[in-house]
């Protein structure tokens, strides 16, 4: 069995997220598997570095799949580009060691959350940002972000009520970058729980609006979901990079 590694991007707007679902047409994984199965004339299962939510985008998603067909990887790449819809793109398709596993071997992930913090029009980026023009205290959000960095129990930042496995994760870095009318929140960590980035941003925005004090963030670790902030919309979120 060959093992092939894909680097891909997608505009998540019209998809129900990464994960294939029975009877649901528009998932990223489902679309990839259907297209690859057609190209390679065998049943293909695609392993992603992780699941992205419905409506969430990716600039640097990584996936792998096994196949028997000996079609050169350049030809698979070319056919993928030909057959995938225009809101999905493949950067590379490369033969890798049989042991490579896109999810299990992922070491570090970076997500970006884009907030359009202005009443000015945002016509051309509207599908990729969340618009909220309320004024924000950047310094307070940066203080709060410092408390989030490190290894903590992020139970309060997990949107899955039935999460059985550990909710401990390590955040290596958080950057909050003002870019014109936009504010970009960059999170780098060893992995993120379901909805975790969106709840982190929602909580930081509450700090930014003065509804929560930066010092109170640490008190959320190991606590119930209800105590953290709101889940901001998926459209502002983008998976930027996965490191192995």
- β-pairing, 88-95 vs 150-153, is unpaired
- Burial class (CB within 10 angstroms; exposed 0-12, middle 13-18, buried 19+) of 98: exposed
Taking contact as CB under 8 A, which single stretch among the options 8-16, 104-112, 137-145, 156-164 is the one that binds a copy of itself? 8-16
- Asked if residue 90 binds a copy of itself (CB under 8 A), the reply is yes
Reference 198, options 64, 3, 17; nearest CA is: 17
Tokens coding 164: 């059985």
Which distant-in-sequence residues (6+ apart) come within 8 Å of 207 by Cβ? 137, 140, 141, 143, 144, 213, 214, 217
- Asked if residue 60 binds a copy of itself (CB under 8 A), the reply is no
Q: Report, in Å, the least distance between residue 213 CB and a copy of itself.
A: 33
Closer to a copy of itself by Cβ: residue 91 or 172: 91
Considering only residues 114 through 133, tell me which ones interact with a copy of itself, judged by CB under 8 A. 119-124, 126, 128
Q: Report, in Å, the least distance between residue 110 CB and a copy of itself.
A: 17
Taking contact as CB under 8 A, which single stretch among the options 35-43, 88-96, 172-180, 205-213 is the one that binds a copy of itself? 88-96
Phi, psi of 206 (to 5 degrees): -65, -40
Known catalytic residue: 153? no
- Asked if residue 180 binds a copy of itself (CB under 8 A), the reply is no
Tokens coding 183: 């504010």
Q: Which residues are catalytic?
A: 53
Contacts to a copy of itself by CB under 8 A: 8-11, 57, 59, 81, 86-91, 119-124, 126, 128
């Amino acid at each position: 069995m060959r093992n092939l590694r894909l680097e891909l991007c997608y505009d998540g707007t019209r998809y129900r997220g990464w994960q294939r679902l029975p009877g649901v047409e528009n998932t990223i994984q489902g679309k990839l598997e259907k297209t690859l199965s057609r190209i390679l004339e065998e049943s293909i299962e695609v392993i992603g570095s992780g699941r992205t939510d419905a409506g969430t985008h990716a600039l640097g998603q990584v996936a792998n799949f096994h196949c028997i067909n000996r079609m050169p990887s350049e030809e698979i790449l070319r056919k993928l580009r030909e057959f995938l819809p225009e809101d999905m793109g493949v950067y590379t398709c490369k033969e890798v060691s049989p042991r490579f596993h896109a999810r299990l071997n992922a070491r570090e992930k970076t997500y970006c959350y884009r907030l359009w913090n202005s009443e000015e029009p945002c016509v051309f980026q509207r599908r990729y940002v969340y618009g909220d023009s309320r004024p924000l205290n950047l310094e307070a959000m940066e203080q709060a972000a410092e408390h989030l960095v490190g290894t903590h129990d992020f139970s309060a930042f997990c949107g899955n009520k039935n999460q059985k496995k550990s909710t401990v994760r390590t955040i290596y870095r958080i950057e909050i970058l003002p870019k014109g009318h936009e504010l970009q929140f960059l999170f780098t960590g060893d992995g993120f729980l379901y909805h975790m980035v969106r709840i982190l941003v929602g909580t930081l925005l509450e700090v930014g609006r003065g509804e929560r004090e930066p010092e109170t963030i640490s008190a959320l670790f190991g606590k119930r979901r209800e105590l953290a902030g709101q889940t901001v919309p998926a459209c502002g979120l983008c998976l930027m990079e996965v490191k192995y």
